[in-house]
A and B are shown apart, each in its own frame.
Chain A
Amino acid sequence: MSQHIQQPVDEKKMNELLRQKKSRMKLCLAACAGCSLCADSCFLFRGHDKDPRYMPSYKVVHSLGTLYRRMGRVTRAQLEEMKELIWRNCVLCGRCYCPFGIDIPYMIAFARRILRTQGIYGMYPHTVGGPEAERRDSASPQGG
């Protein structure tokens, strides 16, 4: 993890992807009226004492929304914060419901894709084979 934090953000790679779906994503972000009616459709929001950080629109606005607003000019620390939102706080179950018909899971999946270009991956406790798991394995005395 610390290795990644040291790396500078590759704006070029990120902007390439951001531009690829700019029209659709910006349109969807602009259509979000911030009504928060998507909140109750997320079981993680309901299961975490209605913590707004688990709300579907919060996850999108503070990840993809920030990336588009700053057009990739973000720090690695900000990307790490986004990682928490779009991996730990979302399982991409696709059950979130937007009254305007915005495809929230699609946007979160796209935000994940952008973060992957920076070597940022979501790590689940038992993930095997991911970059962090590989490093952990190689660092341990038993690891290969």
Chain B
Amino acid sequence: MSLLYELARGPLVWISVLVFLCGIAFRARQLFSLTSKKERIFCPARPAEKGSQSLPLTDEKKIERIVAFQNWLVGKNPVMAIISFVFHGCLFIAPLFALGHSLLVYESWKIVLPSLPDGLIDFLTIVLLACGFFFLMRRMFVPRVQAISSAYDYGVLFLTVVPFLTGFFAYHQWFDYKTVITLHMLAGEAMLIAIPFSKIGHMVFFFFVRILVGSETSFWRGNRTWSP
């Protein structure tokens, strides 16, 4: 175990970070090469209607807003939308702002990173694990999710949640600390390596497509297009 521990805290960290960064760069490059710059279309600006901003909220506008809300993910499937948002928020915040991680960075390179109180990180981890359990139940029992789930999907969920579960155990010093912390490091490294090359790669895809590719569902007018 001590050899594995030394490996996990030494060379494997570098390997996983390197694979993660190179993988992300590869995926980003791939996305850029698969899309091309969109031709800019100049449209004459429509003159703004006088006083349109100060119009009272008519029934028509109210209905328009209700329809827009219902077509929005939060309006259609509020529970799933909120849980997904919370899960992904915790997924980023908990590891990046954990005091233990910041201390390791400080001890290695004397770089001070911002951190959040331990109690809060602990709470975020519990929330994340609860969300993970919700996703597992959904995958197992909701027919529409079950229909498109394979062992791979369960594996991806497992890979995402295990670093947090072992981190939680390590923080509370449950079970044998050295075994748990070794597993925590190995699970974190496995997740980092898997990000660019598995379904967790939706992390890169999501931001690229929603921000850079211009479509009806983009966050704003993107300047790239899928068509060659």
Task: Spell out A's residues near B (CB within 8 Å).
Answer: 23-24, 27, 30-37, 39-41, 50, 52-53, 55, 57-58, 61, 97-103, 106
Q: Mark B198-228, 1 if CB is under 8 A from A, else 0.
A: 1101100110011001010110000000100
* Other-chain contact of B217, A24, A35, A37, A97 (Cβ < 8 Å): A97
B153 in the interface, Cβ–Cβ < 8 Å?
Answer: yes
Bound together, the chains give a CA A50 to CA B145 distance in angstroms of: 12
| Contact in complex: A30, B198 (CB < 8 Å) | yes
| Contact in complex: B142, A36 (CB < 8 Å) | yes
Expressed in whole angstroms, the minimum distance between the Cβ of A98 and any Cβ of chain B is 8
| Contact in complex: B218, A31 (CB < 8 Å) | no
| Contact in complex: B206, A40 (CB < 8 Å) | no
Contact (A50, B202) CB under 8 Å given A23-B34, A37-B80, A97-B217? no
Contact (A27, B199) CB under 8 Å given A34-B153, A36-B148? no
| Contact in complex: B147, A55 (CB < 8 Å) | yes
Contact (A36, B145) CB under 8 Å given A23-B34, A101-B217? yes
Query: Majority SS of interface residues in chain B?
Result: helix
| Contact in complex: A31, B226 (CB < 8 Å) | no
* Contacts across chains A and B counted by CB atoms under 8 Å: 81
Bound together, the chains give a CA A141 to CA B30 distance in angstroms of: 57
Contact (A52, B143) CB under 8 Å given A30-B199, A100-B202? yes
Ranked nearest first, the 9 interchain pairs of A and B with the lowest CB-CB distance are A52-B147, A101-B209, A31-B205, A36-B144, A36-B145, A52-B144, A31-B202, A34-B148, A100-B206
Nearest chain A residue, comparing its CB with the CB of B81? A37
* Other-chain contact of B148, A24, A55, A97 (Cβ < 8 Å): A55
Residues from chain A with a CB closer than 8 A to the CB of B73 are 37, 97, 99
* Other-chain contact of B199, A23, A24, A31, A53 (Cβ < 8 Å): A31
| Contact in complex: B145, A101 (CB < 8 Å) | no
Q: List 22 A-B contacts (CB under 8 A).
A: A23-B34, A24-B34, A31-B205, A31-B206, A33-B156, A33-B199, A33-B202, A34-B199, A35-B80, A35-B84, A35-B145, A36-B144, A37-B80, A40-B76, A41-B76, A50-B143, A55-B147, A100-B202, A100-B209, A101-B217, A101-B218, A102-B205
Expressed in whole angstroms, the minimum distance between the Cβ of A115 and any Cβ of chain B is 20
* Other-chain contact of A39, B31, B144, B210 (Cβ < 8 Å): B144
Residues from chain A with a CB closer than 8 A to the CB of B179 are none
Q: Report which residue of B30, B80, B148, B198 has the largest number of chain A beta carbons within 10 angstroms of its beta carbon.
A: B148
| Contact in complex: A30, B143 (CB < 8 Å) | no
Q: Mark B39-74, 1 if CB is under 8 A from A, else 0.
A: 000000000000000000000000000000000010
Bound together, the chains give a CA A27 to CA B34 distance in angstroms of: 10
Residues from chain B with a CB closer than 8 A to the CB of A24 are 34, 226
B77 in the interface, Cβ–Cβ < 8 Å?
Answer: yes
| Contact in complex: B149, A34 (CB < 8 Å) | yes
Bound together, the chains give a CA A8 to CA B144 distance in angstroms of: 33
| Contact in complex: B144, A55 (CB < 8 Å) | yes
Bound together, the chains give a CA A30 to CA B206 distance in angstroms of: 12
Residues from chain A with a CB closer than 8 A to the CB of B198 are 30
Residues from chain B with a CB closer than 8 A to the CB of A97 are 73, 217
Bound together, the chains give a CA A99 to CA B203 distance in angstroms of: 12
Expressed in whole angstroms, the minimum distance between the Cβ of A99 and any Cβ of chain B is 6
Bound together, the chains give a CA A55 to CA B145 distance in angstroms of: 10
Expressed in whole angstroms, the minimum distance between the Cβ of A29 and any Cβ of chain B is 9
Residues from chain A with a CB closer than 8 A to the CB of B210 are 100-101
